[in-house]
Amino acid sequence: MNEADQRATTPGESDERYQEGVVDLLAALAYGELSAFDRLAEDARTAPTLTGRAALSSMAAAEIGHFRMLQQALADRGVAVEEAMQPFAQPFDEFNASTAPHSWLESLVKAYVGDGLAADFYREVAEWLDADTRELVLAVLADTGHSAFAEREVQGACADDRSLRDKLTLWGRRLLGEAITQAQHVVVERDALAELIIKGSGDLTGVGAMFRRLQNNHTKRMGNLGLG
């Protein structure tokens, strides 16, 4: 089968390798939701007001709603979410450990930038999936209200503070770098997932183009926060 034929292939349930890649994708998403829950719950604890605390707690709860959808989708495929998530725990945890925020605003930027990058990536991948899986992936990417909240808080805090703005801009760049590093670790370890991405992008040039789109969107996103 030549490359053009590969690209034309519509994924089907019969394709075992494709199914393996999909399970990886859903499991990575699921661990991402658990991580997001954890991070938002932690941020809720340090929120400067009870209003902020209630808002962030509600967003955290919404992530768990997404997690349960993924858990169900994996169960429908005969896969236990806990086992499927195991390979993704380390890279996600390392990303979080290497980018532990030192302030409420760093937390907000991290959640905004991290969720945005992840959502862009999964949305690209969703295009190559069968209709049911695509619908599920897009549903769990639905913003839980965090974005508008973060934009308001960060813009407000930076409006009259140039040095804070510069500091948070550097923070955003560092987050992008660490995210790419950990994403590469994942792809190297998970063959079926890597194939899904390469096949979907067309070829390695296509993968490169996708990464540039992710970086461009990251820059726009920093702009939305009033940074960069």
The binding site for a second copy (CB under 8 A) comprises 34, 37-38, 41-42, 44-45, 49-51, 53-54, 57-58, 60-65, 67-68, 71, 81-82, 85-86, 89
Burial class of residue 159, CB neighbours in 10 A (0-12, 13-18, 19+): exposed
Q: How far is the CB of 41 from a second copy (least distance, A)?
A: 3
CB closer to a second copy, 18 vs 67: 67
CB-CB contact of 154 with 109 (8 Å): yes
Give whichever of 8 and 97 is closer to a second copy, judged by the CB atom. 97
Shortest Å distance, C-beta 128 to a second copy: 28
Q: Are 123 and 134 in contact (CB under 8 A)?
A: no
Residue 194 phi, psi (nearest 5): -60, -45
- How far apart are the two ends of the chain, measured CA to CA in Å? 45
The values of phi and psi at residue 160, to 5°, are: -115, 25
Q: With respect to a second copy, which residue has the nearer C-beta, 81 or 154?
A: 81
Please provide residue 163's backbone torsions phi and psi, each rounded to the nearest 5 degrees.
Answer: -70, -35
For the CB of residue 119, give the shortest distance to a second copy in the complex, in Å. Answer: 20
Q: How far apart are CA 228 and CA 215, in angstroms?
A: 13
Residue 120 has which token pair? 């862009």
Q: Which is nearer to a second copy, 17 or 45 (CB)?
A: 45
CB of 186 to a second copy, least distance (A): 17
Q: How far is the CB of 191 from a second copy (least distance, A)?
A: 23
Residue whose CB is less far from a second copy, 28 or 129: 28
- To a second copy, the closest distance from the beta carbon of 40 in angstroms equals 9
Q: Which is nearer to a second copy, 34 or 158 (CB)?
A: 34
- Per residue, the 3-state secondary structure of 165-215, as one string, reads HHHHHHHHHHHHHHHHHHHHHHHHHCHHHHHHHHHHHCCHHHHHHHHHHHH
Give the whole-angstrom CA distance, residue 82 versus residue 153.
35
